[in-house]
């Protein structure tokens, strides 16, 4: 986009346009019947109550609850709480990788002598483009693989969803650790392990959403989704790039400026992402202890 328009800022101006296109497609392509159902469900969720539709005579609506009561109930739903913390760990790692991996790869290449240090304000590098392609490809494959794995394993294990998420987080953390460590020796291997790390990280996106939908009652799902998005971004990708950069600068300040130490400081700070990923896997393991009970409770309400 910078080459086409002459200004890198247009890369960020395209995103709202894509959102507008998505909105138009939703209006044009989603059947009106589904829209009415969605709107009715959203209205009922906001008011904290569910009323049975007119075409279902004889059924009785659920008791009304306030928004504060819904939030309190969600706080006692341990499957929701632990899976939300697991999602927050995923967002933390994703945000840090998205901002710092291209710079990390560039510093590794400079330290290895593959490229010369660029002292200009704007430097041409293929790392961002390659990493972006890896992120898109692994994101698509990961979501498909996660959904299919969950569909198959649910038939034999009621705790399959959180166990899939936990396993993928542990494997992703291992792959990212290897990528961080081999960067000072082989860039190609770094790209490969970053790809695997992002692939296993992406496995969880669809599965976490499924967990929320069946452990939370329908009238509270809108609130649950909003809270989960807020917490995951607020404690996850909103602050992780800043934290990684701050730690890297603090480490770098302990020694004299050098190309090797500049790379090592970012390498050491990236280790935090590995630990956060492991904690995320632990949160999903905790989810597996409560998911059956919470699912049954949601189905009964």
Domain around 105: 74-300
Residue 11 has pLDDT above 50, yes or no: yes
CATH of the domain at 259: 1.20.1250.20
* Rounded-to-10 torsion of CA 281, 222, 236, 75: -60
In a domain, 86, yes or no: yes
The pLDDT value given to residue 15: 79
pLDDT in tens, 140-173: 999 999 999 999 998 899 899 999 999 999 999 9
In a domain, 178, yes or no: yes
The pLDDT value given to residue 291: 92
**Residue spans of alpha helices (H) in 47-113:** 67-75, 78-112
Residue 68 has pLDDT above 90, yes or no: no
Q: Quick one: pLDDT band at residue 111, thresholds 50, 70, 90?
A: confident
State how far the Cα of 160 lies from the Cα of 146, in Å rounded to an integer. 11
Q: Specify which of 10-14, 112-116, 200-204, 260-264 reaches the highest per-range mean pLDDT.
A: 200-204
DSSP label of 155: T
The pLDDT value given to residue 1: 67
The pLDDT value given to residue 286: 96
Q: Quick one: pLDDT band at residue 122, thresholds 50, 70, 90?
A: low
Residue 179 has pLDDT above 60, yes or no: yes
What is the mean pLDDT of the segment spanning 183-201? Answer: 93
In a domain, 213, yes or no: yes
Residue 94 has pLDDT above 90, yes or no: yes
In a domain, 10, yes or no: no
DSSP line for 243-297: HHHHHHHHHHTTS---HHHHHHHHHHHHHHHHHHHHHHHHHHHHHHHHHHHHHHH
In a domain, 50, yes or no: no
In a domain, 230, yes or no: yes
Token pair for residue 190? 């770094």
Mean pLDDT of the chain: 85
Percent of the chain predicted with pLDDT > 70: 86
- Cβ–Cβ under 8 Å, residues 213 and 79: no
The helix, strand and coil proportions of the chain, stated in percent and rounded to the nearest 5, come to 80, 0, 20
In a domain, 51, yes or no: no
Any residues with CB less than 8 A from the CB of 255 and at least 6 apart, and which?
Answer: 261
Domain count of the fold of the chain: 1
- Cβ–Cβ under 8 Å, residues 252 and 261: yes
pLDDT in tens, 17-53: 888 898 899 888 877 665 455 555 444 433 343 333 3
In a domain, 156, yes or no: yes
Q: How much is the pTM?
A: 0.81
């Amino acid at each position: 986009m910078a080459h086409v328009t002459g200004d890198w800022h247009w890369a960020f101006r395209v995103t709202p346009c894509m959102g507008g296109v998505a909105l138009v497609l939703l209006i044009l392509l989603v059947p009106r019947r589904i829209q009415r159902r969605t709107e009715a469900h959203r209205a009922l969720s906001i008011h904290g109550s569910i009323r049975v539709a007119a075409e279902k005579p004889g059924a009785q609506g659920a008791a009304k609850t306030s928004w504060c009561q819904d939030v309190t109930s969600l706080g006692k739903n341990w499957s929701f709480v632990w899976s939300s913390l697991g999602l927050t760990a995923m967002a933390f790692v994703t945000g840090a990788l998205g901002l710092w991996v291209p710079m990390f790869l560039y510093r590794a290449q400079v330290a290895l002598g593959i490229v010369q240090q660029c002292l200009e304000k704007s430097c041409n590098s293929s790392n961002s483009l390659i990493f972006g392609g890896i992120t898109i490809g692994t994101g698509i494959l990961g979501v498909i693989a996660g959904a299919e794995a969950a569909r198959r394993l649910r038939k034999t294990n009621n705790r399959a969803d959180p166990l899939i998420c936990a396993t993928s987080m542990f494997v992703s953390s291992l792959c990212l650790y290897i990528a961080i460590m081999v960067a000072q020796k082989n860039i190609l291997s770094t790209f490969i392990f970053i790809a695997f790390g992002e692939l296993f990280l992406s496995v969880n996106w669809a599965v976490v959403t499924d967990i929320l939908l069946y452990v939370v009652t329908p009238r509270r799902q809108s609130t649950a989704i909003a809270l989960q998005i807020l917490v995951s971004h607020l404690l996850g990708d909103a602050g992780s790039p800043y934290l990684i950069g701050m730690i890297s600068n603090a480490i770098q300040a302990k020694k004299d400026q050098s190309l090797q130490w500049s790379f090592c400081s970012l390498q050491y700070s990236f280790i935090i992402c590995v630990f956060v990923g492991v904690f995320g896997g632990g949160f999903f393991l905790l989810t597996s202890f409560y998911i059956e009970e919470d699912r049954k409770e949601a189905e009964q309400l």
